[in-house]
Amino acid sequence: MKLATGTVVHGKVELPAEFAAEGAQVVVLAPESEVSFELSPAQEQELLEAFQEIERGEFIDGEELLNELRSLPRG
């Protein structure tokens, strides 16, 4: 998984050309407002480590996660 920032131009997200091959499928995560946030160095490191885990295939898909959450005891 890679991370990049882009700009919306005429309703389309523009990313650096070297980010992904033409026609590649990407996921866009955008805040609902102009609010921004900053990560501490420790939080940034944790996020980068999570991306590396994903690149190594160490993750579960959304359906599996939902199944695990549904099986947790409630109360």
- What whole-number distance in Å separates Cα of residue 62 and Cα of residue 66? 6
Q: Is residue 25 part of a domain?
A: no
Q: Is residue 20 part of a domain?
A: no
Number of domains in the chain: 1
Q: Is residue 34 part of a domain?
A: no
Q: Is residue 63 part of a domain?
A: yes
Instruction: Name residue 14's beta-bridge partners.
Output: 7
- Whole-model pTM? 0.43
What is residue 42's predicted lDDT score, i.e. its pLDDT? 93
**Per-residue pLDDT reduced to its tens digit, 9-56:** 998 888 888 888 888 888 887 777 777 778 899 999 999 999 899 889
Q: Is residue 54 part of a domain?
A: yes
Q: Is residue 50 part of a domain?
A: yes
What is residue 37's predicted lDDT score, i.e. its pLDDT? 76
- Answer whether residue 1 shows pLDDT above 70: no
What is residue 65's predicted lDDT score, i.e. its pLDDT? 86
Residue-range definition of the domain harbouring residue 69:
41-75
Q: Is residue 66 part of a domain?
A: yes
- What whole-number distance in Å separates Cα of residue 12 and Cα of residue 42? 33
